[in-house]
Structures are given as structure tokens and as C-alpha cells.
Amino acid sequence: MLLQTPPDVPIRVYTDSENVIHTYCHWIAQRKSLDWRCANGDVIAYAVDLLRKRDSAVEFCWVKGHSGEVGNEAADLLAKEGATKPVP
């Protein structure tokens, strides 16, 4: 999504991970000062870099995971598939 959406188009990120929301909205400075030494730090740093380069608003929305919401269930399947592939 981040690579395919033009940087001047606002995006809304739906996630069932409060950690994702807190990392981007509150903990970036701390994670960066630790050189992203945390679980999946390289992936988080890459995503944060992409988000920071955008010229438009980024909104995060929390959704309850594994609750049958179609978008969340589809995202789970894509995440499992993506976990087997290298980071670009």
C-alpha cells in the first residue's frame, strides 16, 4: 500500500496491532535511538521511513483482531504470506 499510493494521497491504516500504532505515534524517537534493535526492527524502520516521506496525512485506526471483520481476516492471510518473503 505505501509503495503503491501516491505520496500526496492521504492514507488510513487499519491494524489490530496496538504496538504498530504506539510505535509510529509515540515511540519512534526511542526505537531510532536504539538503532531499531527490537523485534522486526528492520521492517519497522523501513515502514516508518516510507510513512515519513509522505506529503499527506497518515491515519491509524485500531480494529479488533480475529473478530471476523473481512478486511482484517484478509490482512491476516496476506501478512502470513508476506512473512515468508524478503523485505524489498
Helix (H, G, I), strand (E, B) or coil at 30: helix
Show the domains of the chain with their CATH numbers: 11-82 (3.30.420.10)
pTM, two decimal places: 0.71
Q: What average pLDDT does this structure show over 67-79?
A: 89
Hey, what's the cell of 80? 502470513
The answer to whether residues 10 and 56 touch, using CB atoms and an 8 Å cutoff, is: yes
Question: What phi, psi does 64 have (nearest 5°)?
Answer: -70, 125
* Residue 2 banded pLDDT, cuts 50, 70, 90: confident
Q: What is the pLDDT of residue 11?
A: 93
Hey, what's the cell of 30? 526511542
Residue 62 has pLDDT above 90, yes or no: yes
DSSP 38-83: STTHHHHHHHHHHHHT-SS-EEEEE--TTS--HHHHHHHHHHHHHT
The radius of gyration computed from the CA coordinates of the chain, to the nearest angstrom, equals: 14
Give the integer Cα–Cα distance in Å for 3 and 84.
19
